Structure formats: structure tokens, C-alpha cells
Amino acid sequence: MVRVPRATPHQVMAAAGQARPADPDSPYRLLAGWVDTGRPADLAAHQRRHGPLPVPAYPGRAGPHRLIGVVDRSGLRGRGGAGFPTGRKLTAVAAGRRRPIVLANGCEGEPASRKDHVLLSVAPHLVLDGAILAAYAVGAEEAVVCLHAQDPLADTLRAAIAARSGDPVPLRVAEVPDRYVASEASALVNFLNTGDPRPTAKPPRPFERGVRGRPTLVDNVETLAHLAMVARYGPEWFRRLGGPDSPGTTLVTVTGAVRLPGVYEVPLGTSIGQVLELAGGAAEELQAVLVGGYGGSWLPLPSGGGIRLTHADLQAAGASLGVAALVVLPARGCGLAETARVLRYLAGESAAQCGPCMFGLPAIAADLTAVVEGAAGRRGGAVLDRLGGRLEVIRGRGACAHPDGAVRLASSALRVFGTDVRRHLSGRPCPWAAGGPRLPVPGDAAPGAR
Amino acid sequence: MSRPAAGRRGGDARLGVNPITCRAHGLCAELLPELIGLDEWGYPILAASPVPPQLLEMARDAVAACPTLALRLSGAR
Amino acid sequence: MSQQVLWYISRGTGMVSLLLLSTTMVLGALTGGRFAHASWPRFTVSGLHRSMSLVGLGFVGAHVATAVIDSYAGIGWLDVLVPFTSVYRPLWLGLGAIAFDLVVALVATSLMRPRIDPRGWRIVHWAAYACWPLAVAHGLGAGPADARLTWVLAVNAGCVLAVVVAVTWRATASHPDTVARGGGGW
């Protein structure tokens, strides 16, 4: 899956806390080992490259606090979708009265994303270092790596944990049901507490009261891997790449109509067009790109190619970085039909707990399907109006952000594929609407589906 | 939870609903139509603005009347 | 003479209590089943449910108090709270004592509702389904002379019919929310 150009091997000078990466300006940070060797890094290879766990660089009672300060100054933001500043989250969890728990979220419920899978496959110890360092920073008594049940990675990670020694905090793996919303932070907490893998209402948020009632830090595994790098090489190094509001590199999953779909590591601030070039460029004429996964937003191509992958730039373009997944739609595809299919999938993935989600998502999926199929006929305008009204009403009214993601996807489709909407409604659907699906959803027989 | 000074003036009081425990009984919208509407499925849509002081008492009644205790008023005494 | 009056008051308030508790049951079942009508909005139903329960508690209190104050049957204060301790018709008074305890618990938890755990309130509230039949049985068993009167039997039958119909409606009423919550394979 990972296709990245080979670079020359580097030697690493790593003394705890004073470490310098082999090539401070390399765009390969998390994937450097893979790029150099083409092999997953076992513990020995990991330590040759990055040195030992840098806990001794943060000694004494003030050490954890100093580590949080370093993460805070790095400007690292969460890579799980929300983009929340990691330093602030650490501070909030550490401020609780009881001993916290750390959850490393590697479930990757997002079908358009593979980056957590790739990262855990090629650099498991970087993630584990990050989980341990985060636990050390907040004073946690345990760190749990959350993966999907039946995911072979669970065995990989258990073996990696068994190979380690001397970690100041115990590590374990928890297997979570493979459902879209089950990897949401409160759903992980709920599952570990009660066995029910559905999100819960906020407040309380996990950082206030999470696993076993304790303050719980839930961070994406990529976030923790970056944290493990920041703890070694420092905030200034981390900010050498990326932009002021979105520093560092990020793992991007590129799928769809590119020649080399895969997971790539790029500095934040890289333009969408550059990322697509990295993925081998267009495999055919392109129409649009879905940014941020199935709860993300469509942007038109080629005009959207100039937009840079930063939180601020994407927000200005009416999109969001999400889990940094790009799904590329060719010109010979129907964005509306694809969106309707994904919406039906998202509606089916509702945890059926919140009214606006369990009724609203099937309703907007049905509305868009009616538009796509031209079934609305002369009432097409009315269906479109109803859909618009429903999109307004659903947002922000679920216990988790699942309905918001579906609304974001549908709204952006109406915006970007506006011409197609009029064409479908006038009874002249685009010739590709009946074609095979371009965006795989779990359960499909389509290639690429998991 | 209580923020007395602001709460008494009502400037800080906000309605919130637990969307998981809400079961679309709809009493709240009958009792406080000024701030609560219902969507087409019967679930409440709350005004984003703070509860004005003159409606605070009615908001409390609506909170108390909710059959599933899903409605809450925060920031008010 | 005054003794007679107390005894009559106790029987009368007991009868009224049955009517009020039955009405409360019916209104509660309607609230739970999300009954709504243009001329009977939901807050009317739930408001009446609440008012009827409070008035009902008042009459139950009067019923109990007069029965104790009246020395004829020799019912003590403890007998009305602790079941099956009474010398006079221990079984039927015991059922009444349980029903009384439950009514008090139901009203108390409902008055404290915004401040207690909703699940606790809900569990206690289910006890209404135990409380009401006990109260009916107590009424028929504790006053056998009254229970032979046709109109008393008619009132009892009417109450039972109304509650059974309302509770059956509630149990079978299907709301989309309830149906949808079962979906999704969770």
C-alpha cells in the first residue's frame, strides 16, 4: 500500500532528549524507516534510528510537565480528524484529580483512510513510544492501544509490546468492534467500561471522566507517533515543516483515480495537487476530490488542486482536513451517485441512539438518492428544498459528530456537483450514474473494500 | 454548576438536550415554544441564544416536565 | 358518634383515593405512550398526571390518618407503614401498607426528580404497576361489607377496566423512536 520513493539510509545520532534526526529537513519522519529499509521496524531497528525512549530527558517531578510544554510548543494537532491541539488535551487530562488512562486510537473506522494501518504496520514502536510518553506526561497508570477486533495488527502490536522492556507504564491491546462510530473517543471509553461500543452524550467528555471514571486521553496513533518524535527532537525541529497553524508532516491516504494510490507522508501545507502528483498523478481526467474521509467535503478539480492541506486553508475552502484522506473522483464518475451511496452507508452506521441521526441520515440519503435517480420527477425541486432544510436541521444535534460528517458530505456534494443536480432533476442523469461505484464502502463487493 | 450572579440575570442560562436520552416526547416544545421547536421526527431544536430572564421560570418548568430528563438548563441558578 | 364519622371518612377517602390513583395510572400510561391530541396536548396529560398523583397522595394520607385515629379497628401508626403487622385484617391491611409505602416513594422521587439519578427514578416509577393492584386488592379485601355493594363493585370494575385498557395501549403503542432504537445491529 505504501509507495514512497527510496531515500539513502541515514545514521542517527540519538542521545536522549538531545537527539537529532538523521536528516532534519527530510519530509519523511514517521515513515523514514520504511523509506530507508522497506521493512517494518522491529524494536532494534526502531531504537537504532530513534534511540531509546526519551523519558530520562524529562527527569524529576517537573519532567512530565516539561514534556507537556514541549508538545504544546510544537503546535502538534490531533491526526484523528478533529485537529485539536495535543498539548492542550494533555494539559486537560493531567489536570484531573485521579490518575488518568491513555488510549491510543488505531481503529481507523474511516473506510477512506489506511494511514493508521500503515503506520502501525511499519513503525509500531514509534506509536508505542508515543503512548508511553503521553502516559508519562499526564501521569497515567496504563496505556491501551485500541484496534479493530479480528485486525491482524492486534497480534503485531501484542508482539511488539512483548518485545519491549523497561516501559514506565503498562501497555495492552484492546480489540474494538469494527463499526464506523465505534472509534469515536467516547465510544472507545464506553466500550472499555461497559462493552457497548457506541458514543455517549457529552458532558462528561473523556478527558473529564473516561475509562473507570478516570480522566482519559484519547489520541490517534499517528498523533502519538508525532509526539514520540517531538519528545526526542524538540518543538523547533517539529515546526521546520508545515505551517504555523498546522506544523509537521501528516500521513495522507490517496485513493481513487490516481496511478499510485497509497499512504504518503507529506509536510502539512502541501497542496492537494502536489499530493496527487506524489501519488502518480491523475490516472484519467479528474473531476473532484473528497477531502477528509467519508464525513469530509468534496472540492472540485482541477481548481481545488491549489488548496493546501492545512486546517486554516481547508476551512477557508469550506472543507476540513479530517483524517487527511483524499478520494479522487474521475470525470467519468457521478459525484452525486457516489455521495448517495456513501450517505446510505453512513446512515446504516448510525448507532441508532440520537433521533436526528437515526432518522435524519436515512432521510437525507433517500432524498439524494431520489435526486440521483431522477425519481423525484417534477417534484424534484421540492425534494431538493426538503434536503436543504434537513441538512440545516441535523447538524450539531447528535451525541457524536457522525451526523455532522454526513451533513458536511451531502452539503459539499450539492455545492460542487450543482450542475449535475440540475441535470439529474431535469431527467438527464450523467451517463456515469449507473456505472460501478468509485468510492468503496464496507460490505461492497467492489475492489478496495475491506 | 451554579454561577449565581450571571444565572440570576439569566444571561448565562442555556438549554441543552441529551440527544441519547431524548425520546421525542415533545413536552418541552409545548411548554417553551419561544425557545424550542421540533424537527419533523419530533426531536427538539433548541435556540442557540441564552435563555432570556423572563423565560427562565418556564425553562425550568420545561426541564422538570421532560419525561426522560433529557432537557437541562446550565448556567442558571 | 365522632368515631362513626372517622370510620366513614376513612372509607370514603379510600374510595376517592382509588379513583385518583387509577386516573393517575391512566394518565401516566398515556404520557409514557406519548399520547397527544389537539385538544389534549402532552403537557396537559402529564400535568394532570402530576396533579392527580399529588391530590391522590392527599386523599391516601387522609384515608390512612383517619383509619389510625379512629380507635375502632385498632390500627396503629406502625401498621400503616410496615406491612402485615396489623391485628385487624393483617393481610388486606398489609397490602394497603405496601401500596402506601410505594405511593410515598413514587411521589417523593418524582418531586426530587431533577436532582436524582434518572435511572433510579425510572426504576421506582415502574413500581407503580405493583402499587396500583395492591391498592385495589386492599380496597376490596379490607372492607368486605363495602365490597358487596353494587356501586362499589362497579367503581372498582370501572377503574380496573380503564387502567387495563390504558396500560395495554401503552404496552402496544409503537413509536418510531422505540422502533428505530432497536435497529443497526447494535
| Tens-place pLDDT, residues A435-446 | 677 887 876 543
The dihedral formed by the CA atoms of A344, A346, A349 and A352, expressed in degrees to the nearest 10:
-90
A55: its cell numbers: 523519558
Residue linked to cell 471522566: A209
d(CA A112, CA A108): 9
Q: Is C174 exposed, middle or buried (0-12, 13-18, 19+ CB in 10 A)?
A: exposed
Do residues A131 and A143 lie in contact, with contact meaning Cβ atoms separated by under 8 Å? yes
N-term to C-term CA, chain A: 13
Beta strands B71-74 and B14-17, pairing class:
antiparallel
A90 or A109: which carries more pLDDT confidence?
A90
pLDDT tens across A363-374, in order? 999 999 999 888
pLDDT tens across A268-317, in order? 999 999 999 999 999 999 999 999 999 999 999 999 999 999 999 999 99
pLDDT attached to residue C116: 86
Rounded percentage of chain A residues whose pLDDT exceeds 70: 92
Rounded percentage of chain A residues whose pLDDT exceeds 90: 83
H helices, E strands: number in chain B: 3, 4
d(CA A361, CA A346): 7
Q: In which band, very low, low, confident or very high, does the pLDDT at C119 lie, cut at 50, 70 and 90?
A: confident
Do residues A249 and A30 lie in contact, with contact meaning Cβ atoms separated by under 8 Å? yes
Write out the H or E segment, with its range, that includes residue A176: strand A171-176
Beta strands A142-148 and B44-46, pairing class:
unpaired
Residue B65 touches partner C, C-beta closer than 8 Å = yes
Is the pLDDT confidence value at A433 over 70?
Answer: no
d(CA A261, CA A283): 10
Q: Flag whether C169 is in a domain.
A: yes
The phi and psi torsions of A325 (rounded to 5 degrees) equal -110, 135
Q: At what angle do helices C42-69 and C90-111 cross, to 10 degrees?
A: 140
pLDDT attached to residue A64: 96
d(CA C131, CA C80): 14
Q: In which band, very low, low, confident or very high, does the pLDDT at B53 lie, cut at 50, 70 and 90?
A: very high
d(CA A31, CA A15): 21
Average pLDDT over residues C8-29: 95
Q: Flag whether C186 is in a domain.
A: no
Task: Name the minimum distance, in Å, from the CA of A358 to any CA of chain C.
Answer: 7
Q: In which band, very low, low, confident or very high, does the pLDDT at C2 lie, cut at 50, 70 and 90?
A: low
pLDDT attached to residue A19: 60
Is the pLDDT confidence value at A219 over 70?
Answer: yes
Chain centroid offset of residue A44 CA: 28
d(CA A325, CA A338): 16
pLDDT attached to residue A11: 29
pLDDT attached to residue C186: 75
Residue B42 touches partner A, C-beta closer than 8 Å = yes
pLDDT tens across A303-328, in order? 999 999 999 999 999 999 999 999 99
d(CA A178, CA A442): 10
pLDDT attached to residue C3: 64
Residues of C in contact with A346 (CB under 8 A): none
Which domains can be identified in chain B, with CATH numbers?
A: 4-74 (3.30.70.20)
Is the pLDDT confidence value at A349 over 90?
Answer: yes
Determine, for residues C184 and A359 on separate chains, whether the beta-carbon distance falls below 8 Å.
no
A140 or A7: which carries more pLDDT confidence?
A140
Residue C93 belongs to what domain range? 2-180
pLDDT attached to residue A7: 33
Residue C41 touches partner B, C-beta closer than 8 Å = yes
When scoring A184, A358, A400 by the number of chain C Cβ atoms within 10 A, the one with the most, hence best to mutate, is A358
Determine, for residues B41 and A356 on separate chains, whether the beta-carbon distance falls below 8 Å.
yes
pLDDT tens across C47-82, in order? 999 999 999 999 999 999 998 998 777 788 888 888
d(CA A232, CA A13): 11
Determine, for residues C175 and B64 on separate chains, whether the beta-carbon distance falls below 8 Å.
no
Q: Flag whether C82 is in a domain.
A: yes
Query: Based on the structure, what is the number of domains in chain C?
Result: 1
pLDDT attached to residue C35: 87
Beta strands A286-291 and B14-17, pairing class:
unpaired
The contacts of residue B25 (CB under 8 Å, 6+ apart) are B66, B67, B68, C31, C34, C42
Handedness of CA B6, B10, B11, B13 (dihedral sign): positive
pLDDT tens across A380-389, in order? 788 999 999 9
d(CA A193, CA A186): 10
Window 191-220 of A, Cβ < 8 Å to C:
196-198
pLDDT attached to residue C88: 80
The contacts of residue C8 (CB under 8 Å, 6+ apart) are none
d(CA B73, CA B60): 7
Average pLDDT over residues A53-58: 93
The contacts of residue A223 (CB under 8 Å, 6+ apart) are A76, A77, A78, A79, A80, A86, A130
Determine, for residues A398 and B24 on separate chains, whether the beta-carbon distance falls below 8 Å.
no
Which domains can be identified in chain A, with CATH numbers?
A: 32-238 (3.40.50.11540), 249-330 (3.10.20.600), 335-425 (1.20.1440.230)
Which among A198, A349, A358 is the nearest to C180, CB-wise?
A: A358
Q: Which of A118-127, B7-16, C151-160 has the lowest mean pLDDT?
A: B7-16
Average pLDDT over residues C81-102: 89
Determine, for residues B43 and A200 on separate chains, whether the beta-carbon distance falls below 8 Å.
no
C183: its cell numbers: 435497529
Total count of residues recorded for chain A: 450
Q: What is the DSSP string of C17-80?
A: HHHHHHHHHHHHHHHHTT--BTTB-HHHHHHHHHHHHHHHHHHHHHHHHHHHH-TTTT--HHHH
Q: Which of A104-113, C22-31, C146-155 has the lowest mean pLDDT?
A: C146-155
pLDDT attached to residue C184: 67
Q: Flag whether C25 is in a domain.
A: yes
Q: Flag whether C79 is in a domain.
A: yes
Total count of residues recorded for chain B: 77
